């Protein structure tokens, strides 16, 4: 009887990509996918460590899947960033886990599913081989993630990524272009280039050069990318938003804070003025670009004046949307090490005092209310207009029968009534000239 696997993915687009590659590896080893964990012989959790809440979700899920193990003898594996961060400690906390797999070792998932153990070693940059996507797993889909690089060399004081994903490694552009060509051959029309710091790409050309090479692939209608660092926003990349029609007018550019003093403690390597100057150039090249960002509230030492500077920044920059969070202390980061010294009394500096949770929560609420009002105002301005939507799928459960799901050029999520037919013509034809798209009138926001 064929063994079955179930993958529960937490976190970012990179994890979604890694889960897809692990699923392909397991399929080559004779496994098939299960719809639910309760019918699986292997439950694999691909984890995120960017915030403590993500780790809490992992251990909560492990508690549920432990019952699957007890009832049917399923094996349990943990992959991703928490696996890389915790290693043996994860097994001490959850001893029923059979194996632990770091991001650099995902090609070994089938072996570990049989043998168990811990594989979290780094592969040297010069030896790292990026996992190749099997285009057949994307047949019938409109969109696909394509990995361009991994890791990050910035070492921001709050961020665990350098400790869980390692140093930056860029994939050769020829390899990326070949993969995208294979994806368009099975019907993919939108590709999202992903990496922890994707616009620092250096795989034989700069990131702007990569965008232009991808745009030249026949069949590519839309290009997106994530995530970026403001210091790597080059004039050449800005020009792409003006010159490359396939590059969608959406840019996620994390600012993290509105006060230079906090940005310095975060080790962000730019000032608010430098960030705003880059944003101004971006809007000059692409006036309708939908700009989104990240903001951290309650970073150690944050004063009311520093928080107010963030609110002022949000009033100045016309963000389309914002992802905002309370500071989450992550193991091994510079901020965590500095806070440990503060708590132990080894060092004492007001700039690194912990912000009380109620204060941080109130500041987060103020940030979110301000941005929500601005986002609603921007979207209401679109009422009566039209947006082009790339149809991705039927709406996920509990959707309305006949309802479709897609995204606008600006990356707005759109649900709408659609005809009952294949969402993607490529399910019937190898390389259709077009993919279902529709222009919708905006009737409410």
- Model confidence at 167, in pLDDT bands (50, 70, 90)? very high
Mean pLDDT value across residues 128-147: 93
The answer to whether residues 317 and 220 belong to one domain is yes
d(CA 144, CA 392): 10
Sign, Cα dihedral of 206, 207, 208, 213: positive
26-82 pLDDT, tens digit per residue, is: 999 999 999 999 999 999 999 988 877 778 889 999 999 999 999 999 999 999 998
Asked if pLDDT for residue 315 goes beyond 60, the answer is yes
Among the listed residues 225, 156, 223, 219, the one whose alpha carbon sits nearest the alpha carbon of residue 186? 219
User: What is the residue range of 394's domain?
Assistant: 386-441
Proportion of the chain above pLDDT 70, given as a percent: 92
Which two tokens mark 232?
Answer: 């790597």
Q: Name the domain boundary from 358, 380, 402.
A: 380
The answer to whether residues 209 and 334 belong to one domain is yes
User: For helices 235-243 and 207-215, what crossing angle results, to 10°?
Assistant: 20
230-281 pLDDT, tens digit per residue, is: 999 999 999 999 999 999 999 999 999 999 999 999 999 999 999 999 999 9
The answer to whether residues 363 and 421 belong to one domain is no
What confidence score (pLDDT) does residue 89 get? Answer: 85
Mean pLDDT value across residues 106-127: 91
Strands of 26-182, DSSP E: 32-33, 42-47, 75-80, 99-101, 117-119, 143-147, 149-150, 169-170
Strands 403-408 vs 386-394: parallel, antiparallel or unpaired? antiparallel
| CATH code, domain with 220 | 3.80.30.20
| CATH code, domain with 98 | 3.40.50.12160
pTM summary value = 0.89
Q: Across all residues in the chain, what is the average pLDDT? A: 90
| Residue 42 DSSP code | E
The answer to whether residues 33 and 155 belong to one domain is no
Work out how many domains the chain is built from and give that number: 3
Q: 164: buried, middle or exposed (CB in 10 Å: 19+, 13-18, 0-12)?
A: buried
The answer to whether residues 138 and 89 belong to one domain is no
The answer to whether residues 179 and 286 belong to one domain is yes
Which two tokens mark 326?
Answer: 């309370």
The answer to whether residues 131 and 77 belong to one domain is no
- Model confidence at 396, in pLDDT bands (50, 70, 90)? low
Which two tokens mark 316?
Answer: 């100045």
């Amino acid at each position: 009887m064929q063994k079955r696997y179930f993958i529960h993915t937490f976190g970012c687009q990179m994890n979604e990509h890694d889960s897809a590659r692990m699923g392909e590896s397991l399929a080559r080893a004779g496994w098939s996918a299960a719809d639910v964990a309760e019918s699986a012989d292997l439950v694999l959790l691909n984890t995120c460590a960017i915030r403590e809440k993500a780790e809490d979700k992992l251990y909560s899920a492990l508690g549920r899947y432990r019952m699957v193990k007890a009832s049917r003898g399923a094996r349990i594996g943990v992959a991703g960033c928490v696996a890389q961060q915790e290693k043996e400690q994860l097994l001490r906390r959850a001893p029923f886990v059979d194996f632990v797999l770091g991001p650099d070792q995902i090609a070994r998932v089938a072996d570990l599913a049989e043998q168990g153990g811990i594989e979290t070693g780094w592969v040297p940059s010069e030896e790292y081989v990026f996992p190749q996507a099997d285009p057949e797993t994307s047949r019938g889909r409109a969109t696909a993630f394509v990995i361009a690089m991994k890791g990050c060399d910035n070492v921001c004081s709050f961020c665990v990524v350098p400790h869980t994903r390692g140093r930056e490694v860029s994939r050769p552009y020829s390899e990326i272009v070949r993969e995208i060509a294979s994806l368009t051959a099975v019907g993919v029309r939108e590709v999202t280039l992903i990496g922890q710091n994707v616009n620092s790409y250096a795989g034989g050309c700069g990131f702007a050069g990569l965008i232009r090479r991808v745009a030249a692939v026949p069949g590519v209608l839309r290009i997106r990318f994530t995530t970026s660092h403001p210091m790597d926003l080059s004039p050449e990349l800005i020009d792409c938003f003006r010159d490359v029609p396939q590059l969608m007018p959406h840019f996620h550019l994390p600012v993290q804070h509105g006060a230079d003093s906090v940005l310095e403690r975060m080790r962000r390597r730019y000032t608010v003025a430098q960030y705003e100057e880059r944003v101004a150039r971006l809007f000059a090249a692409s006036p309708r670009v939908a700009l989104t960002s990240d903001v951290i509230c309650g970073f150690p030492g944050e004063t009311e004046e520093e928080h107010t500077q963030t609110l002022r920044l949000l009033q100045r920059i016309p963000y389309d949307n914002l992802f905002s969070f309370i500071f989450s202390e992550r193991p091994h980061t510079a901020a965590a090490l500095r806070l440990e010294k503060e708590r132990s009394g080894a060092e004492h500096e007001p700039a690194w005092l912990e912000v009380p949770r109620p204060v941080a929560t109130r500041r987060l609420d103020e940030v979110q209310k301000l941005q929500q009002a601005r986002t609603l105002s921007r979207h209401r301005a679109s009422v009566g207009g039209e947006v082009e939507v790339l149809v991705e799928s039927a709406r996920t459960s509990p959707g309305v029968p006949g309802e479709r799901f897609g995204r606008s050029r600006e990356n707005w999520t759109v649900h709408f009534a659609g005809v009952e037919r294949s969402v993607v013509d490529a399910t019937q034809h190898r390389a259709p000239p077009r993919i279902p798209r529709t222009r919708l009138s905006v009737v409410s926001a």
